[in-house]
Amino acid sequence: MNPQAKRPGRGVVVVGAQWGDEGKGKIVDHLAADADVVVRFQGGANAGHTLVIDGRKTVLHLIPSGVLRGKPCAIGPGCVVDPEALVEELETLAAQGCSPGPDLLLVSRAAPMILPVHKRLDRARERAAGSEAIGTTGRGIGPAYEDVVARRGLRFLDLDQGEPHLRARIDGLLRERNPRLEALGEQPMTAAELLEPLRAVHGRLAPYLADVGRYLHRRRGEGASVLYEGAQGTLLDVLHGTYPYVTSSSTLAANACLGAGVGPSAIDEVVGIAKAYTTRVGAGPFPTELSDALGERLRDVGREFGATTGRPRRCGWLDVPGLRYAARVNGLTALGMTKLDVLSGLEEIRIAVAYRWRGETLDELPVEPLALVEAEPVYETLPGWSDDIASVRRYADLPVAARRFVERVEALVEVPVTMVSVAADREAVIERER
């Protein structure tokens, strides 16, 4: 080894440790202060990361949260990108005084595009499924990923190959998708309906297109630290989540490498984000769900409404077996706990510490569909606290009961809780001294 060679910068992956909506955007924004590059590695505009800075709320769907720190950001080839949604997000940021140019935002040329046919098919399927619908956002994510695997999807690089090439790719896609639309009672789409939007946005997005993996490799070699931002959560992973009520991509930390275009040696730390309670959007089993006034309280106090769809989130007690599962499959090295303040004012706080199913005690959340429905949580009860903690900025200043709650979760999951968020504002993240 050359002793003069520069050591590659650190790589930190941030993933959701529950069913998504854990507040990853806020933690990524916090960590981005010390990062050199932030990259989004999976999902699409079905994700929503909400940030509150100086009292102003910003919701990002595709562009990494680091953009509000003025850090270079990238959208990796593992994402499916709606070109129109990306342009809209750029215009929204520009209206707020943040207008990232090609020097601050890179979009992978290899990233698959979400087209109008994907969104129409997504919504038609959900309508046809009726009571068995899984609760997608209707933004075409699933159909777009299907076309990637079937090798018929369009990528941004197809826009640079000339219109005859683009038209041929679209014709091939519609040969497969139009019969399905008609079977669902929808009108088939024409090539023009897909071509026109692409013509409209191509010039706007062309300067941003780049080889993201190569860029990250170069920056790491220069010593830059890279923050890898995931979307959704562990329990929505297409392979390891609560199937079939899952998203269409891999949400786990290992996918940061594939979705960004780097090797496993690029990752040094994996931070899982979890609320102090649990939420879920859409259909699917939710063992610790509170379908009562307490669940309503958590929803109201926590403002638990989807950043992308506005749908009310289902709320329940913290699920430690689920966090243990997330810690194992992601290889978590740290946990960040958000929305601790939402529990303020409760006399008692419950934590699910295990599950009972058919005479067995399970220490991890079962992902088998039948077990997930039948399993009963085993709860541990802790004392609550009445203090308003939103203005607290040192861990030692939190109420004793709040600290005991955090430390009990840490002991049960066996992963250090290194950050605690106590309010929506950017500054309300407490770093724990260890």
pLDDT tens string 25-46: 899 999 999 999 999 999 998 7
Counting residues of the chain whose pLDDT is more than 90, the rounded percentage is 81
Q: How confident is the model at residue 71 (pLDDT cuts 50, 70, 90)?
A: very high
Average confidence score pLDDT of the chain: 93
Q: How confident is the model at residue 307 (pLDDT cuts 50, 70, 90)?
A: low
Give this prediction's pTM: 0.93
Closest to 160 measured CA to CA, from 222, 231, 121, 208: 208
4 pLDDT exceeds 70? no
Each residue's pLDDT tens digit, 108-127: 999 999 999 999 999 999 99
Q: What is the DSSP letter of 266?
A: G
Tell me what pLDDT residue 98 has: 86
> What are the residue numbers of the active site?
21, 49
Each residue's pLDDT tens digit, 46-62: 777 777 777 778 888 89
Closest to 194 measured CA to CA, from 177, 209, 180, 208: 177
220 pLDDT exceeds 60? yes
Each residue's pLDDT tens digit, 145-180: 999 999 999 999 999 999 999 999 999 999 999 999
Torsion angles phi and psi, residue 397, rounded to 5: -90, -5
254 pLDDT exceeds 80? yes
Tell me what pLDDT residue 308 has: 63
Closest to 395 measured CA to CA, from 423, 424, 420: 420
